[in-house]
Structure 1
Amino acid sequence: MVGLKGCLTILIGYVIAVCALFSSKGRNPSLTDWEKLKDQTISKIDNFGLTGHSLLELFQDNLAVLSFSDGQYHHKHVSLYYDTFKEYILRSASSKNCVPVNSAIAKLNRDVNPMPVHSHNDYWRKLPLFEGLAHGARSTEADVWNIDGKVLAVGHNEAYLDPIELTLDKLYTGPLLEILEEVNCQDSGSDRKNGVYFNSPETSLFFYIDFKSDDRELTYKLLIEKYFKPLIDSGYLTYYDMKKDEIVWNPVTVILTGNYPTSLDVLDNGNDDGYFKSNQRFAFLDAPLLNLEQKFSILSVATTVSFNQLMKHCGSDFLKVALRGHMDSDEISCAKKFIDEAHELKLITRIWGAPTWPANTVKAISHQIVHDLGSDLLNLDDLFMASTLI
């Protein structure tokens, strides 16, 4: 494979060559010429074979050329970088050609293995959804706000929402449907759907939906009927089979967290046989790690606790551990009991809110959370750092 610096050199050389061609014709390049240059440059990226972190770096370093479009530098969604990257990633999906080996998923993580990492506050990233998948993160997260009972906007703070462009469908469910359709276009003769990891198509993406609005029942209704229905209809969501009393795993597993509804009457739309009367429940509750009950073995697939809550329950606190730079043996022994209890109920575990500074402390505690406690999802903002700690 060509090294990253080599790829950049090729791109720069390509741009220079095209510009020289324009000059030789005795005219200035038009907007159409630049559009052609951008399209040709983007199409050549596939030949480099870059995926994962290297692909992200390539786009960031060459954004000026890759993003050129008729003089309009106003981004549509998250940023110009996001728009350009999304256009590249979904080019093959929009072509409707059935070639999974050249799919968006192949571009994102062909040489990346899934890693037990949660993409915390994923919507804050430069490339929501795509950045996490490019690093192989097993879990992602979107905070949703109910806007006038019609739209679920994604964002951390209600004061900075964009209910037109930064919505759950435009950032997450829409792209997920496109890339999943692209790798499930062939008739394999099997009911199993291929997922979002090239090297492990059977691995499910955990998709945490953090309810922020007060009207949680209406938020849930919108979530299921408007945003997840296309994924449900295509068989891409994990569900609880109410007749067989078992979980059927599919490419995306939805976990409700935050201010979510807990009543089965709401979760199943008042039906004994599920929301759509199919004997299936398509959303799972984020169970409280410190207060687990047997019922969560069928209501949940995951359980969560904050690092501070866990340490307090073990007679310590966040500050003590942060100043020390690591958990001591008593803290580890106590915390591990809760992790083990969750595993007995077949729940994956996630601990959020661990120290984020300095780097040595982050690395030490993250290593302990994964290897000493046995927690399943490492909750880190820095995905590249996380990939070095697993």
Structure 2
Amino acid sequence: MLGLKSCLTILIGYVIAVCALFSGKGKKPSLADWEKLKDQKLSSIDNFGLSGHSLLQFFQDNLAFLSYSKDNYRHKHVSLYYDVFKEYILRSAGTKKCLPVNSAIAKLNKDVNPMPVHSHNDYWRKLPLFEGLAYGARSTEADVWNMDGKILAVGHNEAYLDPVELTLDKLYTSPLLRILDEVNCQDSESDRKNGVFFNSPESTLFFYIDFKSDDNELTYKLLMQEYFKPLIDSGYLTYYDMKKNEIVWNPVTVVLTGNYPTSLDILDNGNYDGYFKSNQRFAFLDAPLLDLEPKYSSLSVVATASFNQLMEHCGSDHWKVSLRGHMDSNEINCAKKVIDDAHALELKTRIWGAPEWPANTVKTISHQIVHDLGSDLLNLDDLLMASSLI
């Protein structure tokens, strides 16, 4: 694999050569020339064989040579970095070619194994959705706001929403549909769909939708009818089979959290046979890990608690563990029983709010939560660090 410096050298030489060509013709590059040049540069990246963190770093280091000229470009979404990266990742998705080995998913995480990490407030990242997938995070999260009953905008604070560009479909559902279509284009006798992890296509991506608006019934209606319907129609969403009373796993598993509706009348649209009358329920509730009931086996797929709640349940607290730098055997045994009880109900588990400083404590406790307690997911903000310790 070429090193980043070597790649940079190649690109610099390439740009100099093209600029010299334009200069030799006595011609000022037009926007069409820049578009053609950029397309050639993006095409050449495939030859480097980069994916995961190496690909992210490559784009950050070489952004000036991969973008439009500054006189002709204004970013449309999150940032210039996001737009150029997204264009590269999705440039082959949606074409008539069917070659999953060269797909967007192959570019994102071909040399990365899925890790039990939840990409907390994923939309705050430089590359929403794509950064988490590049590191192999098994779970992602989007906070959604109902804008005038028509659009679900993504953001943390209502004062800074963009209902035109930063929406659930532009940042998440549309890219997910495109990259999943790209790896499910081949005829197969199996009903199993390939997912978003190259090395583990059978693994689902947990997609947390954090309801922020007061009108959660209308938000849920928009979510199902406008945003998730294309994914449902393509068979990409995990669902609860209401006839067989079992979970049918698919590439994306939707988990509702925050101010979400809990009434089955809302979740199933007033129907006894599911929202779309298909005997399938496509959204699951974020179950309370410390207050589980048997009903959650059909309503949920993941149970959640904060690290502090878990420690208080075990007669300790967040600060004691943080100062000590690790969980002791009593805390581990107690917390592990909570995790095991959830697993007995066939529920995955997620822990949030673990210590974030200092680095050694974060690494030690994160390792204990995943390996000693057996939690399936752990909220972590630093994905690069997570990839080195889990």
- Counterparts of 2:57 and 2:67 in 1: how far apart (Å)? 14
Structure 2 equivalent of residue 363 of structure 1: 363
- Counterparts of 1:159 and 1:329 in 2: how far apart (Å)? 45
Structure 2 equivalent of residue 137 of structure 1: 137
Q: CA deviation at 1:70?
A: 7.2
Conserved? CA contact 2:12–2:65, under 8 Å? no
Q: CA deviation at 1:129?
A: 0.4
Residue type at the aligned position of 2:47:
N
1:328 aligns with 2:318: no
- Counterparts of 2:10 and 2:102 in 1: how far apart (Å)? 22
Conserved? CA contact 1:31–1:70, under 8 Å? no
TM-score, scaled to structure 2:
0.97
Structure 1 equivalent of residue 111 of structure 2: 111
Conserved? CA contact 1:142–1:209, under 8 Å? yes
Written as runs of structure 1 = structure 2, the 5 A alignment for 1:375-390 is 375-390=375-390
Residue type at the aligned position of 1:320:
K
Residue type at the aligned position of 1:342:
A
Residue type at the aligned position of 1:161:
L
- Counterparts of 2:368 and 2:70 in 1: how far apart (Å)? 51
- Counterparts of 2:191 and 2:272 in 1: how far apart (Å)? 26
Structure 2 equivalent of residue 147 of structure 1: 147
- Counterparts of 2:122 and 2:233 in 1: how far apart (Å)? 26
Residue type at the aligned position of 2:53:
H
Q: Deviations over 1:167-187 (max 9, x none)?
A: 100000000001111111111
Conserved? CA contact 2:11–2:65, under 8 Å? no
Structure 1 equivalent of residue 351 of structure 2: 351
1:261 aligns with 2:253: no
- Counterparts of 1:373 and 1:45 in 2: how far apart (Å)? 41
Conserved? CA contact 2:205–2:252, under 8 Å? yes
Structure 2 equivalent of residue 280 of structure 1: 280
Conserved? CA contact 1:302–1:350, under 8 Å? yes
Residue type at the aligned position of 2:224:
I
Structure 2 equivalent of residue 246 of structure 1: 246
SS in 2 for 1:266: helix
The count of residues paired between Structure 1 and Structure 2 equals 390
Q: Deviations over 1:314-355 (max 9, x none)?
A: 222222222222222222222111111111111111110111
- Counterparts of 1:115 and 1:371 in 2: how far apart (Å)? 12
- Counterparts of 2:61 and 2:110 in 1: how far apart (Å)? 21
Residue type at the aligned position of 1:280:
Q
Q: CA deviation at 1:213?
A: 1.1
- Counterparts of 2:34 and 2:154 in 1: how far apart (Å)? 34
- Counterparts of 2:265 and 2:94 in 1: how far apart (Å)? 39
Give the gaps of 5 or more residues in structure 1: none
Structure 1, 194-203 or 31-40: larger mean CA deviation? 31-40
- Counterparts of 1:388 and 1:250 in 2: how far apart (Å)? 28
Give the gaps of 5 or more residues in structure 2: none
Deviating above 6 A after TM superposition, structure 1's stretches of 4 or more consecutive aligned residues are: none
Q: Deviations over 1:46-86 (max 9, x none)?
A: 11111111111111111112111572332111111111111
- Counterparts of 1:102 and 1:365 in 2: how far apart (Å)? 38
1:231 aligns with 2:231: yes
TM-score, scaled to structure 1:
0.97
Conserved? CA contact 1:96–1:182, under 8 Å? no
Written as runs of structure 1 = structure 2, the 5 A alignment for 1:1-390 is 1-69=1-69, 71-390=71-390
- Counterparts of 2:28 and 2:74 in 1: how far apart (Å)? 24
- Counterparts of 1:343 and 1:66 in 2: how far apart (Å)? 47
- Counterparts of 2:175 and 2:324 in 1: how far apart (Å)? 43
- Counterparts of 1:254 and 1:92 in 2: how far apart (Å)? 26
Residue type at the aligned position of 2:366:
S
SS in 2 for 1:290: coil
- Counterparts of 1:148 and 1:35 in 2: how far apart (Å)? 37
- Counterparts of 1:217 and 1:69 in 2: how far apart (Å)? 45
Q: Deviations over 1:215-241 (max 9, x none)?
A: 111111111111000100111100000
- Counterparts of 1:386 and 1:70 in 2: how far apart (Å)? 35
Q: CA deviation at 1:96?
A: 3.0
